[in-house]
Structure 1
Amino acid sequence: MTEPLADAPGYPMTRSHPLAPPPALDRLRAERPVCPVTLWDGSRAWLVTRHADVRALLGDPRLSADPRSPGYPSLSPGRAAAPDREGAFNHLDSPRHGSYRRMLSSEFTIRAVARLRPLVQEIVDAAVKEMAAGPQPADLVTAFALPVPSRVISALLGVPYEDHAFFQTRTALRMDLRATPEAVRRANDEIIRYLHRLVARKIAAPEDDLLSRMAVRYVRTGRLTPDVLVDIARLLLVNGYETTANMIGLGVLVLLGEPDQWAGLRADPSPRRMAAAVDELLRHQTIVHIAPTRAVLQDLEIRGQTVTAGEGVITSLAAANWDPEVFPDPHRLDVTRDARRHLAFGHGVHHCLGHPLARLELEVALTTLLRRLPDLALAVAVADVPFKHDGGLYGVHRLPVTW
């Protein structure tokens, strides 16, 4: 007999299978699609789980993405202690959000990102070659999934890749929901100090990279302060590799568990087929698994439930992407499915700016693995893979593979 749902269940919720969202989300989406949940500090927020509602709320100007707004739900002590600063425009509202985003939009158009394909392919080829020449089993995360997007975003921004261990360890701490406020603040401060030195060099001696172009166009002309460019740099650096690295790891893992689908992609790795597969993987394995969060600025009604100003809302992308009203049989991975309505990149004005780059990296990474390592296989059982259950972004810590 299924137990009744608690009045305000704890959030985040526990998975029963590492490659599926928590089963409680399925029940809430069916029975209580707008439900109060209890957070780590005893506060409450409204959890929204249906695709249509999540999509509508992410485009609703009555909700704020700014953590400084009253009622904004914080998902861990560390996040509460070290909120993002001014230049982290994904946590700003209009008009400031739009002004910063427009400064970067030309760098992330489909056409601009397409020009990066040779660079991405070169980086992917080198990573596969190095991994294939090494011992087996290999850890796909440290050998491939993490260095590929780290090298790409470092090259794009003009961040020395030899410093990757520094920023990756600090970022991992920021993403850890279990980290103490002191540890998160220290990691954040160290990244900021590092980027201050880097941005100062870009202002003084610009090179051919995104941060240098921002320094010339906006800092030297007085439209941005160096501090804000530092914040923007941190946002682009962290989001530019951490998200894609987790998605590569999870995508490969779930595909290797579906040998017929892996073989089908290997037989036909055409651009159209791979683009569809990437969309399905993004839907099926939503790495932004416990967010986005918003604060309510004006009273509104969600599916008959009144939500008042000063309350918090959590829009579950993971639940929305497994909504059977939009994606029939959502638990099943189907790389031939038309999954373009997924919300893995969000929706509305905060729709992920870098999604064309993420798609390109995923398509090139998977296509190259299929071609170069067609016999790729897990070296351990899925139960023995260490998953990031306590991470702000979902993924795997390690993925042992053979070929």
Structure 2
Amino acid sequence: MCAHERNPEVIVSLPTQRPAGRPFDPPVELAELPPLTPMVFPDGHEGWLATSHALVRAVLADPRFSSRHELMHYPLADVGEMPPASLGVMTGLDAPEHTRFRKLLAGKFTVRRMNLLTERAAQVTAEHLDEMAAQGSSADLVQAFALPVPAVMICELLGVPYADRMLFQATAAKLSGLDATQEEQYAAFGEIGAYIAKLVLAKRADPTDDLLSDLTGTDLTDDELAGVGAFLLGAGLDTTTNMIALGTFALLENPDQRPALHEDPAQAVEELMRYLSIVHTGARAALEDVELDGHRIKAGQTVALSVVAANRDPAKYPDPDVLDLRRQATGHVGFGYGMHQCLGQQLARVEMRATLPALFSRFPGLRLAVPPGEVPMRHDMDIYGVHRLPVAW
């Protein structure tokens, strides 16, 4: 039998159930699968699931696999036929369209530029820690800290006027709120899109020192600019919010790791990105027949990419289920890989390095205000994390 004709056992669906009492660990079944497994998607599509670090990176780097939404099948739920990506949503585009947007934005998110924001991130962090302390001895860390800090940073980066920021934050909070219905979340996204569309017009008329104003000097249309602004908000707010909140939860459950957090925040953040893998599952569609790990991926088939399994691959990381902030977690795919690797990854790093050490320095007695099992987790969402994190100090 030829290698590509091997037929490993087909799994019915993507394993998503986290083990009881272990909210930071991926589904146990993922570790038991071969690197590449045939998978029946929720809509009935017969595709594949990649779980090894090497294969996930290989697919992410291969231009024969497409990111276009309309070509792929969603691995987490049956959402029907997906429409093409909205204007400015780069994660749903292939070259050359993706390349055009990426080139215009890449220079705005360099390591040097983002490091210049380190002092401002520390100031914003300190301000919100002061507010937490002034309001008593307990809080929901998401609403008091994990959400507003990156919200302020992304607002300043985009150029949202100060007077609009509280309204902007409140609307953004609805996107990930536990009690928000899908209709309310869609409405909130629409409100943000409409707001940014107006903001683009204001920046064209009166540019200021911010990202959107810079981009008005490019060939992007008003609609494209508004789409880019909404995309950057969505990509840079929900993800960092959940990394700060879930990272805090993990450190509360692993107090022995806190000294290492203060010794080397940069290294600690990379290990938290690997260990938590909040963007847990991706997907790519084959544009042509591709031989992968001894199997033939047919043109049109979707390959689901288990980022959480890749980042826990024992072939890449010894003792992968152990949180070790002194680990050199280089090469993780927490920010993706290849041409679609997260554009704002340096900003996210700056924010996490500022927030997490400062939080535990300010409140060394920080603790959960509820039993760990009562923390509401985002089990069924694209971005894993917590809906709320009740803490006390």
TM-score of the superposed pair, with normalisation by structure 1: 0.89
Which residue in the other structure is 1:9 paired with?
12
Q: CA deviation at 1:262?
A: 1.5
* Residues 56-78 of structure 1 deviation map (CA, whole Å, 9 limit, x = unaligned): 11000000001122x44364456
**Which AA in structure 1 matches 2:102?**
R
For 1:113-132, list aligned pairs within 5 A: 113-132=114-133
Contact 1:48 1:316 in 2 (8 A): yes
Matches of 1:65 and 1:392, distance apart in 2: 16
Which residue in the other structure is 1:60 paired with?
62
Contact 1:287 1:394 in 2 (8 A): yes
Which residue in the other structure is 2:249 paired with?
253
Matches of 1:108 and 1:96, distance apart in 2: 19
Pair 1:190–1:12, CA change in 2 (3 A):
farther
Matches of 2:134 and 2:211, distance apart in 1: 33
Contact 1:62 1:297 in 2 (8 A): yes
1:21 aligns with 2:11: no
**Which AA in structure 1 matches 2:63?**
P
Matches of 1:130 and 1:183, distance apart in 2: 29
**Which AA in structure 1 matches 2:231?**
L
Matches of 1:234 and 1:306, distance apart in 2: 38
Which residue in the other structure is 1:172 paired with?
176
Structure 1 stretch 306-315 or stretch 159-168: which is displaced more?
159-168
**Which AA in structure 1 matches 2:85?**
D
Contact 2:267 2:329 in 1 (8 A): yes
Which residue in the other structure is 2:258 paired with?
262
Contact 2:74 2:283 in 1 (8 A): yes
Contact 2:16 2:27 in 1 (8 A): yes
Q: Tell me the C-alpha RMSD between the 2 structures.
A: 2.2
| Secondary structure of 1:294 counterpart | strand
Pair 1:75–1:263, CA change in 2 (3 A):
same
Which residue in the other structure is 2:96 paired with?
95
Matches of 1:83 and 1:369, distance apart in 2: 41
1:162 equivalent among 163, 166, 174:
166
Q: CA deviation at 1:132?
A: 1.4
Matches of 1:42 and 1:179, distance apart in 2: 26
Unaligned 5+ runs, structure 1: none
1:336 aligns with 2:336: no
Pair 1:146–1:387, CA change in 2 (3 A):
same
Q: CA deviation at 1:79?
A: 8.4
Which residue in the other structure is 2:191 paired with?
190
| Secondary structure of 1:68 counterpart | helix
Pair 1:241–1:79, CA change in 2 (3 A):
farther
| Secondary structure of 1:370 counterpart | helix
| Secondary structure of 1:172 counterpart | coil
Matches of 2:81 and 2:246, distance apart in 1: 28
**Which AA in structure 2 matches 1:125?**
A
Q: CA deviation at 1:165?
A: 4.0
1:276 aligns with 2:261: no
Matches of 1:143 and 1:281, distance apart in 2: 21
| Secondary structure of 1:46 counterpart | strand
**Which AA in structure 2 matches 1:376?**
L
Structure 1 stretch 366-375 or stretch 356-365: which is displaced more?
366-375
Which residue in the other structure is 1:376 paired with?
366
Contact 1:12 1:39 in 2 (8 A): no
1:288 equivalent among 275, 279, 284:
279
Q: CA deviation at 1:10?
A: 1.5
| Secondary structure of 2:258 counterpart | helix
Which residue in the other structure is 1:326 paired with?
316
1:311 equivalent among 301, 305, 308:
301
Percent identical among aligned pairs is: 41
Which residue in the other structure is 1:43 paired with?
45
2:232 equivalent among 230, 236, 246:
236
Which residue in the other structure is 2:149 paired with?
148
Pair 1:195–1:351, CA change in 2 (3 A):
same
Which residue in the other structure is 1:199 paired with?
200
Matches of 1:394 and 1:34, distance apart in 2: 23
Which residue in the other structure is 1:360 paired with?
350
**Which AA in structure 1 matches 2:388?**
R
Pair 1:78–1:41, CA change in 2 (3 A):
closer
Pair 1:132–1:170, CA change in 2 (3 A):
closer
Contact 1:73 1:295 in 2 (8 A): no
Which residue in the other structure is 2:4 paired with?
none
**Which AA in structure 2 matches 1:378?**
L
Matches of 1:257 and 1:169, distance apart in 2: 26
Which residue in the other structure is 1:298 paired with?
288
Matches of 2:276 and 2:18, distance apart in 1: 13
